[in-house]
Amino acid sequence: MTTSQPAKHPTSLEALRDALRQFAAERDWDQFHTPKNLATALSVEVAELLEHFQWLTPEQSQRMTTAQLAAIRLELADVLLYLIRLSDRLGVDLLVAAVDKMAINAKKYPVDLAKGTAKKYTEL
Amino acid sequence: MTTSQPAKHPTSLEALRDALRQFAAERDWDQFHTPKNLATALSVEVAELLEHFQWLTPEQSQRMTTAQLAAIRLELADVLLYLIRLSDRLGVDLLVAAVDKMAINAKKYPVDLAKGTAKKYTEL
Amino acid sequence: MTTSQPAKHPTSLEALRDALRQFAAERDWDQFHTPKNLATALSVEVAELLEHFQWLTPEQSQRMTTAQLAAIRLELADVLLYLIRLSDRLGVDLLVAAVDKMAINAKKYPVDLAKGTAKKYTEL
Amino acid sequence: MTTSQPAKHPTSLEALRDALRQFAAERDWDQFHTPKNLATALSVEVAELLEHFQWLTPEQSQRMTTAQLAAIRLELADVLLYLIRLSDRLGVDLLVAAVDKMAINAKKYPVDLAKGTAKKYTEL
């Protein structure tokens, strides 16, 4: 018996990565999963997420209904799944990359300059 | 002592979520971080990632140069960071949502129907 | 008699702009049509267009079926409609802006440097 | 002398389409301009436009500074240029498609149902 579902309570992105590998392999989808195609699919998923917010006021986006949130939750999941899959195909360790990027962001946006402003770092 | 950087080797998304909370709090950025704005920013980050692939052939996207990959790696990180932040603001546990979505995907795309085709589940 | 449809064969973007104004006014939609929301909606429409291409090879994208093309044609239309509407709300004349941008692009990408390469102008 | 710039005051999308054809031909760019790649590039351009709005309140997005508007104007132009180019490569007449889509939208969103609501037509 093969299954492409991860354990009920994954504690790491690695478990999801492995489940996605198996999911694609079982369906012979590696041929479609070029980094270019996966980056495109990721972009499409993010837009499906964004669609839920497009006409909302800032306030409305902070108090979603249960039904809205249930739909959004699954869109967030899709984004994560494609992001993990794309990173895997590129050989990138997402968590390590994220830690590195946070260190870069901390330098780009020093607290004393960035406090209370949404300006881009190039304009601080 | 305050620091918004996570430990060198995070083993969970929770560590990044907490670091991002502190990063925003230190800069008084919670005012900008509505779910709507974060979903928009996520979309912008994904496009910065996609830009690296836009003119590549499928083959070229599978053998990136070291320089390309270094840049792409940080874009992937940005996408993850905004995704974590947005999920946090919405109260969504990303990993649990991803596991739930994989189960849904497995039903949408049964192996016998989806094998070797890139068709959408509505057309299988 | 009111109608929000433009004449059968519009010869200008202005006709569409006026039809869109009337369409929104009749539905009391100006309240939702802030530039920010329209830019977001434009982004969502472009992703719906992009979705049709996400798993295609370059060759497949050059010989779409009639059914694919019929769907894509309407997505292209949606992108144009939101683009016109957004430009209108910002007071931008799209055609004049496009002419100005082409002149800028011609300087960014001189024929002798840009010929046969997909590099960004910053790397030429 | 060859030039890929349209006349100073174009009165039609056709003039821009022809100028874009010449621009690409002069640079030997047709090889990169597959529909798939152009749809991707269009998506990237829209995100560059959206970036200007990401942290703004609805009110701020309605009173942009002159500098912001000058930058946004050129992003709108880029979106139009890629949209025209993509439509051209697919053999789609954008204006006719837009007229057709407006007729469809009028049926999807009848005034009496759609008035004052931002709901999707499937939920009206």
Least Cα separation, residue A48 to chain B (angstroms): 10
CA distance D117 to D124: 9
Least Cα separation, residue A55 to chain D (angstroms): 6
- CATH class for the region spanning D13-92: mainly alpha
Report pLDDT digits (tens) over A63-111: 999 999 999 999 999 999 999 999 999 999 999 999 999 999 999 999 9
Amino acid, single-letter form, for residue B26: E
Report pLDDT digits (tens) over B5-42: 544 555 689 999 999 999 999 999 999 999 999 999 99
In chain D, residues under CATH classification 1.10.287.1080 are: 13-92
Report pLDDT digits (tens) over D78-92: 999 999 999 999 999
Report pLDDT digits (tens) over B32-91: 999 999 999 999 999 999 999 999 998 998 899 999 999 999 999 999 999 999 999 999
Q: Do C58 and B58 touch (CB under 8 A)?
A: yes
pLDDT of residue C1: 38
DSSP state of B8: S
Residue A21 CA: distances (Å) to CA of A75, A89, B98, C31, D115: 20, 9, 14, 46, 47
Question: Helix, strand, or coil here: D2?
Answer: coil
**Average pLDDT score over residue span D53-79:** 95
Instruction: Dump the DSSP string for chain C.
Output: ----PPPSS--SHHHHHHHHHHHHHHTT-TTT--HHHHHHHHHHHHHHHHHTTTT--TTGGGS--HHHHHHHHHHHHHHHHHHHHHHHHHT--HHHHHHHHHHHHHHHS-HHHHTT----GGG-
Residue D25 has pLDDT above 90, yes or no: yes
Report pLDDT digits (tens) over C59-81: 998 899 999 999 999 999 999 99
In this complex, the residue of D37, D46, D48 whose CB is nearest that of residue B54 is D37
Amino acid, single-letter form, for residue D104: I
Return the CATH number of the domain spanning residue range B9-92: 1.10.287.1080
* Closest residue in chain B to residue C43, using alpha carbons only: B43
In chain B, residues under CATH classification 1.10.287.1080 are: 9-92
Report pLDDT digits (tens) over D30-51: 999 999 999 999 999 999 999 9
User: What angle, 0 to 180 degrees and rounded to 10, lies between the N-to-C axes of helices C94-108 and D13-26?
Assistant: 10
State chain B's mean pLDDT as an integer. 91
Structure tokens given for C82: 């939101």
Q: Do D50 and B44 touch (CB under 8 A)?
A: yes
Q: Do B118 and A32 touch (CB under 8 A)?
A: yes
Neighbours of B60 (CB within 10 A): 16
Test the C interface: residue of B55, B59, B68, B117 with most C CBs within 10 Å: B55
Residue B1 has pLDDT above 50, yes or no: no
Least Cα separation, residue D122 to chain C (angstroms): 16
Residue C7 has pLDDT above 60, yes or no: no
pLDDT of residue C9: 54
State chain C's mean pLDDT as an integer. 91
Backbone dihedral angles phi then psi of residue C54, each to the nearest 5 degrees: -60, -35
CA distance A59 to A64: 9
